[in-house]
Structure 1
Amino acid sequence: MAEELANQCSKLRLHDQENEFVDVGEVEDDVSEERIALMLVGRLITDRNYNLDAFKRTMTQAWSLARRVVIRVIGAKLFVFQFFHWKDREKVLEGRPWCFENNLLALSEVAGNEQPSDVMPMHSPFWVRLENLPFNRRSDNIVKTITTSMGELLEIENDDLGLDKYRRVKLNLDISKPLRRFVNMRDNDGRVLRIDLKYERMPFFCLMCGVMGHSERDCLNLPEEEQNQGLGWNLRLRATPRKGRHKLMEEVEEVKACRKILFISKPEAKSENKEGEGAGLI
């Protein structure tokens, strides 16, 4: 009997069974769609080791949610976050970017049919400042044109008076690409103007290649001969905190609340010839 069983097992081909598939298309699933809709997947953009307990504690405290959040590791520096109320989930999404120890936590929503290993957040929203724009080139249309190649435009901050040092836009950036340092803009008179860019709440990034998540010492994105040419990026890309913004906004609101016309330009003076001709008419 033992010999017969061994003989049968020796004839089995495992790869034949592995090539078969199990059809679960008609099988009822009791997984709640509401639960999946309250999930987020996050990836910590760093090449360094980290403390998992400290990460969970820091993010939970930073988010300060009304209800709890459950955090599970599903891969190398890859996490799934289970929320229990849509307001908490929206609060986290709206508050991006989030960082742990100055390393970006990229977040993405879950459709439900992805395998955990296939979910790889590659984008994150940032507020970007466009500095040194000409006073007559600050409209929303100009801003949209300038930022077209940088990433998905999510929001443009209002600039009712056009007096600020910069225009502020929210862009969904590809975090695998180098940070843009400036944009060259050609004006209608042919001049080429340099528009400097600064990023708010910018995390750790490489000053050699401009990509987030590693240092110049550990940079593998550039060949050695290019690395010897020096640093191509600097910390001036990080925007300073906006101080006194509340008072400025109050002043703008006072102007907007005025019912009179905001801007009244001086009418053009009539020429002497036309005034003379008009005076002689009966």
Structure 2
Amino acid sequence: MVNEGSWKHKGYALIFIRYDGFSKLSNMIIMNLPVWTRIYDIPVGMMTNFFVRALDNKMGLVLEIGESIKDFKRVKINFPLVDPLKKSIPIKVKSCGVMEFVVKYEAAPLFCFNCGHIGHAMRECTKEDIEDSAKFGQE
């Protein structure tokens, strides 16, 4: 049950990690968050596990490839928390040039609609150039 998905409590990510009982808690650094993504508008001929893995490897380590549903493919990645969330993934496709695919996150934890980082809201963002229309829409 723990491996089934992204867990949240009051909007924040709930993360389980192995603990040996002897390490200092202050030394426990969480670098990644397992999260389910949806990759949209993949052409039918490209909706293979190989192609989807190449797409999501641009976002983090692919943990699991889910089913194809309508016009998207579900993929669970180990998302690096130092990176901001991505709205899309560009990839160079032979004979098609660069194609861009929309990414959506299932049960995304609290994140900043301005900078895209997980762990703080837009009103708490320290990025100086907060735009009038936020990068990820409105909170």
- Which TM-score band (shorter chain)? 0.7 to 0.9
Q: Which has the higher helix share?
A: 1
Q: Deviations over 1:50-106 (max 9, x none)?
A: xxxxxxxxxxxxxxxxxxxxxxxxxxxxxxxxxxxxxxxxx2x21332111111122
Gaps of 5+ in 2: none
Structure 1 position 218 matched with structure 2 position 124: yes
Alpha-carbon distance in structure 2 between the residues aligned to 1:228 and 1:116: 37
**Correspondence for 1:176 among 58, 82, 94:** 82
Q: Which has the higher strand share?
A: 2
Q: Which residue of 2 is the match for residue 135 of structure 1?
A: 44
Instruction: Report SS of the residue matched to 2:15.
Output: strand
1:112, CA displacement in angstroms? 4.7
Q: Which residue of 1 is the match for residue 25 of structure 2?
A: 116
Paired-residue identity, %:
25
- Write the mapping of 1:128-277 to structure 2, written as runs, cut at 5 A: 128-159=37-68, 164-220=70-126, 222=127, 224=128, 226-228=129-131, 230-234=133-137
8 Å Cα contact 1:106-1:123 kept in structure 2: no
Q: Which residue of 1 is the match for residue 14 of structure 2?
A: 105
8 Å Cα contact 2:114-2:131 kept in structure 1: no
8 Å Cα contact 2:5-2:36 kept in structure 1: no
Quickly say closer, same or farther: Cα 1:228–1:195, change in 2 above 3 A.
closer
Q: Deviations over 1:89-136 (max 9, x none)?
A: xx2x21332111111122211245522220122322111111000111
8 Å Cα contact 1:106-1:122 kept in structure 2: no
8 Å Cα contact 1:131-1:165 kept in structure 2: yes
Alpha-carbon distance in structure 2 between the residues aligned to 1:228 and 1:191: 31
TM-score by length of 2: 0.87
Instruction: Name the larger-Rg structure.
Output: 1
Quickly say closer, same or farther: Cα 1:169–1:187, change in 2 above 3 A.
same
Which amino acid is the alignment partner of residue 102 of structure 1?
Answer: G
1:152, CA displacement in angstroms? 1.4
Q: Which residue of 2 is the match for residue 95 of structure 1?
A: 4
Alpha-carbon distance in structure 1 between the residues aligned to 2:4 and 2:104: 19
Instruction: Report SS of the residue matched to 1:217.
Output: helix
Gaps of 5+ in 1: 1-90, 236-282
Instruction: Report SS of the residue matched to 1:232.
Output: coil
Q: How many residues align?
A: 138
Which amino acid is the alignment partner of residue 151 of structure 1?
Answer: G
1:205, CA displacement in angstroms? 1.1
RMSD of equivalent CA atoms: 2.0
